[in-house]
Amino acid sequence: MTEIEESIAEESPDVAHDIPDIVIGRLPIYLRALMRMVEEGDKVTTSSQELGDRLGVSSAQIRKDLSLFGDFGKQGTGYHINYLVQQLQRILKLDREWPVAMVGAGFLGHALANYGGFKNRGFRVAWIFDNDPETVGQKIGGIMVRHVDGLERVLRREKVQIAMLAVPATAAQELADRLVASGVRAILTYAPISINVPEGVKVQYSDPVAQLQRMTFYLDV
């Protein structure tokens, strides 16, 4: 009975946090497709079947995933698109705008800082840091590039929780450490190297070469 108590013990106010991470990873994909449906504007509801066909996943998977968070659909009708978008945004905590810090203002940093795709999807690049004297002081996408020396001070003051890392591989671990020490809890890194972070900090990787390498296995000759 002690065991039962323990297993009940830790859960968030909203929904239990024993949701498989693999499910969480699919929700943004569902959300992306649903928002596109909203844009298309040609219908009010959709079904797990229709959504699954678009995304290449089974309708059962979509229903099961969503059912972990609540009963969002209606038998015979399906899901109300706007309502489901809202619910997914709430679940993923996207019903607000997260300020993001960008470290590294090279080629990639420039492209990302100018990228219009963050808006309306829950994020805003709010600070950019670099250590190159030539780059510091410039404006990119309307944001002044600050010297990386001030990183800790700014991030701690502003309580920044999310950062993107676009520095050379050699600098990535050190900067990840500094980000974590400054309170960052989620890092999206583009450096082609695995970084180590303490428990409780999330890391996502974006390495186009690794992604290509994952596909060549299946090619002939």
Ligand X SMILES: NC(=O)c1ccc[n+]([C@@H]2O[C@H](COP(=O)([O-])OP(=O)(O)OC[C@H]3O[C@@H](n4cnc5c(N)ncnc54)[C@H](O)[C@@H]3O)[C@@H](O)[C@H]2O)c1
Partner DNA sequence: CACCAATCGTGTAACATTTCACAATTGTAG
Partner DNA sequence: CTACAATTGTGAAATGTTACACGATTGGTG
Largest CA distance in the chain: 64
Could you list the residues that contact ligand X (CB under 6 A)? 103-109, 111-112, 115, 117, 129-132, 135, 148, 166-169, 171, 175, 190-192, 208
| 3-state SS track over 57-125 | CCHHHHHHHHHCCCCCEECCCEEEHHHHHHHHHHHCCCCCCEEEEEECCCHHHHHHHHCHHHCCCCEEE
| C-alpha span between 219 and 129 (Å, rounded) | 40
Q: Which does 20 bind (CB under 5 to 8 A by kind): DNA, a second copy, ligand X, none?
A: DNA
Residue in 31, 66, 103, 160 binding a second copy, rule: CB under 8 A: 31
| C-alpha span between 172 and 204 (Å, rounded) | 13
Q: Which does 71 bind (CB under 5 to 8 A by kind): DNA, a second copy, ligand X, none?
A: DNA
Q: Which helix (H) or strand (E) holds 186?
A: strand 186-189
Q: Which is nearer to DNA, 76 or 116 (CB)?
A: 76
How big is the chain by its Cα radius of gyration, in Å? 20
| C-alpha span between 41 and 28 (Å, rounded) | 20
Residue in 36, 43, 64, 93 binding DNA, rule: CB under 7 A: 64
Residue in 48, 87, 135, 189 binding DNA, rule: CB under 7 A: 48
Near a second copy in 138-167, by CB under 8 A: 161-162, 164
**Should residue 47 be labelled a site residue for DNA when binding is judged by CB under 7 A?**
yes
Pairing of strands 45-46, 202-205: unpaired
Residues that bind a second copy (CB under 8 A): 19, 24-25, 27-29, 31-33, 36, 54-56, 91-94, 98, 100, 107-108, 110-112, 114-115, 117-118, 121-123, 161-162, 164, 169, 185-186, 188, 192-194, 196, 202, 204, 206-219
